[in-house]
């Protein structure tokens, strides 16, 4: 059986790469150190592939025909998409994919109540570009498998559906992938923000700190009871629910302790920025 060798999550707010210096020096230090710690953990895990689960942001699919999850099965992945370059201010990156692993994941995950598709090529905005840049993963040459998630186009697979998808993902990794493989999981998105909505310039710091403390407690049933999709939407419509990608990771690994590495509410970033890692 394959092993889930590391599991982490972080925000992917574009301000973290695009206008990092708008934060105080202390906030820059805290967030920079957290991403460095995630990068070290990924490097030390000797992974055969890292799965990054992230909101698609209506980038690869039109809203009238929107899948719940899309697995990137290509041999190479590159970014960021051209239009996002001046906004994100990250170096271009090209990373190896893991087509065999990705196809097995896709074939085993497709066909239940959720709509799961696959794609050879995908466009990436902040969803993949911020984490791979800030952790240094973009240059580590570890194979990447992007999994794009619908966190924002109604009807969104909610907290329990996302967690259940994660449970199936965990089972497929452990039972269907070749023995000895080491897989990493990275939930990318959140925390509170409302892109394009009336609270676009606001952060719900109280929700964010509450959510992170709930995760640190490690009781997943409590997380699912309290940190509902509805509660996420109340803390910033359309954006905060990217935390559903964190729930996918939690479903895959099961209950484990979680360390909160940072949290900063920088007004100019327009998004609560935090990062966690689970002890497996």
The residues of the shown chain that bind another protein, judged by CB under 8 A, are 15, 18-19, 21-22, 57-59, 62-64, 66, 81-83, 86-87, 89, 152-154, 194-198, 200-201, 233, 237-238, 267-270
Rounded to the nearest whole angstrom, what is the least distance from the CB of residue 69 to another protein in the complex?
Answer: 18
- Residues in CB range of 111: below 8 A, 6 or more apart: none
Of 69 and 278, nearer to another protein (C-beta) is 69
Shortest Cβ distance from residue 19 to another protein (Å)? 5
Nearer Cβ to another protein (197/254): 197
Give the nearest distance from C-beta 267 to another protein in angstroms. 8
- Residue 121: C-alpha distances to residues 103, 127, 145, 232 (Å): 13, 15, 11, 30
Phi-psi region of 169 (alpha: psi -120 to 50; beta: other; left: phi over 0): alpha
Nearest approach, Cβ of residue 61 and another protein (Å)? 9
Question: With respect to another protein, which residue has the nearer C-beta, 157 or 195?
Answer: 195
Nearer to another protein (CB atom), residue 20 or residue 278: 20
CB of 272 to another protein, least distance (A): 14
Instruction: State which residue, 7 or 134, has the beta carbon closest to another protein.
Output: 134
The conformational region for residue 189 under phi > 0 = left, psi -120 to 50 = alpha, else beta, is left
Q: Where are the alpha helices (DSSP H) in the chain?
A: 15-18, 25-44, 85-88, 99-109, 126-134, 159-176, 205-217, 220-226, 229-234, 244-253
């Amino acid at each position: 059986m394959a092993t889930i060798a590391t599991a982490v999550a972080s925000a992917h707010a574009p301000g973290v790469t695009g206008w990092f210096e708008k934060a105080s020096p202390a906030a820059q230090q805290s967030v920079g150190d957290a991403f460095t710690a995630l990068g070290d953990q990924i490097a030390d895990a000797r992974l055969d592939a890292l799965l990054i689960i992230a909101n698609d942001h209506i980038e690869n699919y039109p809203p009238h025909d929107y899948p719940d999850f899309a697995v990137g099965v290509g041999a190479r992945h590159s970014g960021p998409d051209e239009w996002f370059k001046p906004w994100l201010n990250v170096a271009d990156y090209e990373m190896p994919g893991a087509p065999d692993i990705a196809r097995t994941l896709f074939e085993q995950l497709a066909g239940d109540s959720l709509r799961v598709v696959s794609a050879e090529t995908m466009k990436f905005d902040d969803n993949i570009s911020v984490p791979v840049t800030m952790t240094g993963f973009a240059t580590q040459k570890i194979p990447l498998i992007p999994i794009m998630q619908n966190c924002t186009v109604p009807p969104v697979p909610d907290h329990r559906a996302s967690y259940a998808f994660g449970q199936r993902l965990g089972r497929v990794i452990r039972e269907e992938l070749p023995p000895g493989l080491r897989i990493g999981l990275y939930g990318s998105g959140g925390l509170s923000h409302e892109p394009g909505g009336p609270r676009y310039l606001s952060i719900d710091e109280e929700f964010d700190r509450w959510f992170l403390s709930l995760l640190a407690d490690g009781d997943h049933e409590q997380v699912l009871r309290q940190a509902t999709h509805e509660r996420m939407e109340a803390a910033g419509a359309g954006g905060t629910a990217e935390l559903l990608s964190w729930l996918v990771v939690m479903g895959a690994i099961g209950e484990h302790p979680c360390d909160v590495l940072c949290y900063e509410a920088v007004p100019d970033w327009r998004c609560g920025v935090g990062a966690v890692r689970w002890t497996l």
